[in-house]
């Protein structure tokens, strides 16, 4: 029903399109979400993150990571929520490639973000812990603690 109503809107704004993407994702209809996404004339960070979130909800972690990689290729700057979701995918991906991809994303965050937020830091610690690399999780935690409390960096 919603899809039929939406089709009657002549020129939907990006906010309306993002709402439809989110609705498709929440209902597990990722085929329709991708079909709709591909036909959007304008895409923003919310559009990309909505598709990633839909794949996360349906536990299609490899596809969510693939969309994130495409997002980067199209020079769309990820949000904090995007990073947290894609790191969760890497942590939960059954293939060994999840560790490699998570490390790549950690490097991307380090190179491109001015601030490591608490949520992104927690997602990284969770990622390393779930992948069985507690030494990286501990090293990252100590580094964050030193930056915040010893050096006074935010």
Contact 87, 105 (CB under 8 A): yes
Assign 144 a pLDDT band (cuts: 50, 70, 90). confident
CATH number for 109: 1.25.40.10
Q: Which residue has the higher pLDDT, 55 or 4?
A: 55
Pair of tokens at residue 25: 């994702």
In whole angstroms, how far apart are CA 35 and each of 32, 49, 136, 149? 5, 15, 39, 48
pLDDT recorded at residue 1: 47
The pLDDT of 129-147, averaged and rounded, is: 83
For residues 30 and 110, give the distance between their C-alpha atoms in angstroms, rounded to a whole number. 31
Instruction: Report whether pLDDT(3) > 70.
Output: no
pTM above 0.95, yes or no: no
- Where does residue 1 rank: exposed (0-12), middle (13-18), buried (19+ CB within 10 A)? exposed
9 pLDDT more than 80: no
Contact by Cβ (8 Å): 137, 125: yes
SS3 97: helix
Of 23-27, 112-116, 127-131, 150-154, the one with minimum mean pLDDT is 150-154
Distance of CA 89 to the CA centre of its chain: 8
Check pLDDT > 80 for residue 2.
no
| Interval 67-72 mean pLDDT | 97
What is the rounded end-to-end Cα distance, in angstroms, of the chain?
A: 48
Q: DSSP readout, 31-69? A: HHHHHHHHH-S---HHHHHHHHHHHHHTT-HHHHHHHHH
* d(C-alpha 29, C-alpha 84), whole Å: 22
Q: Phi and psi dihedrals of 53, rounded to 5?
A: -60, -40
Domain that holds residue 70: 2-150
| More reliable by pLDDT, 8 or 63 | 63
pLDDT in tens, 79-90: 999 999 999 999
What confidence tens digit (pLDDT) does each residue in 97-133 have? 899 999 999 999 999 987 888 899 899 999 999 999 9
pLDDT at 59 over 50: yes
Those residues whose C-beta lies under 8 Å from the C-beta of residue 39, and which sit 6 or more positions away, are none
The domain tally of the chain equals 1
Confidence of residue 4 (pLDDT cuts 50, 70, 90): low
């Amino acid at each position: 029903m919603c899809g039929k109503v939406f089709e009657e809107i002549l020129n939907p704004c990006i906010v309306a399109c993002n709402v439809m993407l989110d609705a498709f994702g929440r209902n597990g209809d990722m085929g329709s979400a991708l079909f709709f996404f591909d036909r959007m004339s304008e895409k923003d960070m919310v559009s990309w993150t909505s598709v990633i979130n839909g794949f996360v909800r349906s536990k299609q972690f490899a596809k969510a990571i693939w969309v994130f990689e495409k997002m980067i290729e199209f020079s769309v700057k990820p949000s904090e929520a995007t990073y947290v979701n894609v790191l969760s995918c890497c942590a939960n991906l059954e293939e060994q490639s999840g560790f490699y991809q998570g490390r790549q994303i950690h490097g991307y965050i380090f190179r491109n973000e001015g601030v490591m937020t608490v949520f992104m830091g927690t997602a990284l610690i969770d990622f390393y812990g779930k992948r069985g690399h507690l030494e990286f999780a501990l090293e990252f935690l100590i580094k964050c603690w030193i930056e915040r409390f010893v050096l006074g960096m935010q």
